[in-house]
Amino acid sequence: MQPRRANGKPIPPEALRRERRDRISSLVLVLLTVGLAVSLFAFISTATDRFGWRLDLTEDQIFRLTDETKDVLAGLDQSVELIYCNSAANADSNIKEILDRYEAASAHIGVTYMDLAANPAAVEQWADRDITLSADGVLIRSGANARFVAWSELYALNTYTDESGTQRYTLAGIQAEAKITSAILAVTTQTEAKAVFTAGHSEDVPQALEELLANSGYSTSQAVLGVQQIDGDVSTVIVAGPRRDFSQGELEQLDAFMARGGNLMVFRDPEVGSLPLLDGYLAAWGVTVEDEIVLEPTQQMDSPLNIIPVFGVSMINVYFSETSTYLVLPECRALSLENVNGCLTSAVLRSTSAAYGKDFATMTSLDQAPEDAAGPFTVAALSERTYTDEAGESRTQYLFAAACTGFYGERYLGTESLANGQLILQALGYMNDRDVTLDIPVKSLTAGDIAISRGAVTAFAAVFVAALPLGLLAAGAAVFLKRRRS
């Protein structure tokens, strides 16, 4: 029976054939669209796994690798294996995502998973090498070198004691990238830089400073001079804010360390009065700690005591000449420099010419007075001299000094906009002839509130509450009228 229209007239065969062709074309178009979408999804999924094409939409970009890590990975010329100590199915999702990004960023990086419960022989094998594996940690291996980073080191933890006396913790941030990149540097470098903090003089070494060095590939420890020896593989001794003077015997031990080519970094506490023996040792290197506390009338942060110094002409400051940044020295004394005993001194940081200095012992006001010393002042210095090593070759050793201890506190090292941490790393890197310095911050796992202005709320409402619905209604009406006319 021939199909008819609503008015009873038969539909012409040509119209029926055209209708069938349109239906077939529409079906083919739908199938092609679905096939293209499936193919595109498969391609994106494969590329995501193979090349790490992932968007990191977290607030603090906790999964995105920093430029420091990318530079380290770009310079690799040997294979590095990252072994996650658990099965892939039970892996910490945050750490797994970060490891995937390492693998995608370099052809020299491989990621594998090892269930410790299913591989007790491997646990014993690594224990024989003084490496204790634990669940959800990461073993970084390259050739015969290996480092293990426990799960608790991959995160920044806030520990506390609850009402029952049980110690508990919360996750404050993730520092997996800093630990893993530092370990990669350690296993792919023939020599490891070791730094020792002195103890026994009421030194105050904040955890933030130790973590800064550890995250940049330095092995750190403490030594009580006169009781413990400084190991022969230590490259730098750090004196961090002693409040009591060194003894003659301790300085002789320190001098013996320097005689074999060691480096020294001294942060003199500005609030401590005279330390005759330590200050005398610094003076023998051409660096004299003065009595003046440096104040800045304008180039400061919140107080004339918190000066924002300018960078001097020093190789330590090459990084800062290429990077727009600044640092803060809260309460520091002035230094005087002199080239003595074969030492060549230079100012690393200076105050501005508008700065003024007050005698620490008699200072009663922060306001400038006519009798105050006039700037500029040196506030951080480098002294260097040549020595002959055991092989008879001429080499250079260094002493870095600053009469300030507050600038490496957690408040300043934890502020990404300040370069306080970079100054320490650049100084250590120059003294130890290390090209790579890492300053990878802890990334927060907490989400903050998003501040939305009234104008943004109005614009959002105009688009999504008014314009978009009206646009959909207009499009629907146009389609309805077009079909009705046809």
Taking alpha carbons only, the member of 232, 225, 150, 228 closest to residue 194 is: 232
pLDDT score recorded for residue 192: 65
| Domain residue ranges in the chain | 67-162, 191-441
Query: Is the domain defined by 191-441 classed in CATH 3.40.50?
Result: yes
pLDDT score recorded for residue 55: 47
pLDDT score recorded for residue 16: 65
How does pLDDT run across 336-385, given as a tens digit for each residue? 999 999 999 999 999 999 999 999 888 888 999 999 999 899 999 999 99
Domains 67-162 and 191-441 fall in the same CATH topology: no
Handedness of CA 407, 412, 418, 419 (dihedral sign): positive
Local mean pLDDT, 10-residue blocks, the chain (486 residues): 58 69 75 77 59 50 80 88 93 91 92 93 89 92 88 79 74 83 80 85 88 81 89 91 94 91 94 93 96 93 93 89 86 95 95 93 89 93 90 89 91 83 90 71 61 68 75 74 67
CATH superfamily of 67-162: Glutaredoxin (3.40.30.10)
pLDDT score recorded for residue 206: 85
pTM: 0.65
